[in-house]
Amino acid sequence: MATPTDLLTGLAERLDAAGHGTWSEQGIWTPGQTAITHKLMPTAPDRVIALTAYGPTDDLVGGRIQRIQVRTRAPGRPTDVDDLDEAIYQDLHGLADVVIGGVHVVSLERISQASLGRDADDRWGLSSNYAAQIGAPTAHTD
């Protein structure tokens, strides 16, 4: 059975392969890299993509809407974080009938976006939220 962690890892690997950042399960990045993480927004490097699964909605036929927060941070011009978020949007929004991290994703769409303003180190943040329709059968569903 695939888990939300499998989906997040698959998304991290996809974003890494597309050149949006560097996925490191060990949490090791150089200062110039864009870190891709699960949940964590580390203090360094300055550019980060943090992926978090939250709020699933399940049905009785083995389907799930898994929500995913893609939180981004970037220093510099306020629009730099917009550009990072847009590049991720272009790669993820509208994906359909694909396997990501061993999870069958029927569809993936961005459902909201919000500015997070600046942090104490003058780095800008955004949060985009996606809904992934996935197969998530249990022993009691088909």
The neighbouring-strand residues paired with 15 are none
In the chain, % of residues over pLDDT 70: 95
- Domains of the chain are 4-33+47-135 (3.30.2000.10)
Q: What angle do CA 14, 89, 102 make, to 5 degrees?
A: 30
- What pTM value is reported for the model? 0.92
Rounded CA separation 29/55 (Å): 29
Rounded CA separation 16/131 (Å): 20
Summarised one tens digit per residue, pLDDT across range 60-118 is 777 889 999 999 999 999 999 999 999 999 999 999 999 999 999 999 999 999 999 99
Residue at token pair 């699960």: 38
Structure tokens at 110: 């961005």
Tell me the one-letter amino acid at 3.
Answer: T
Structure confidence at residue 24 (pLDDT) = 95
Q: What is the mean pLDDT of the chain?
A: 93
Distances (CA, A) of 40 to 27, 44, 52, 106: 9, 11, 9, 27
> Does the pLDDT value for residue 22 go beyond 70?
yes
Which of the four pLDDT bands, split at 50, 70 and 90, describes residue 1?
Answer: low
> Does the pLDDT value for residue 142 go beyond 90?
no
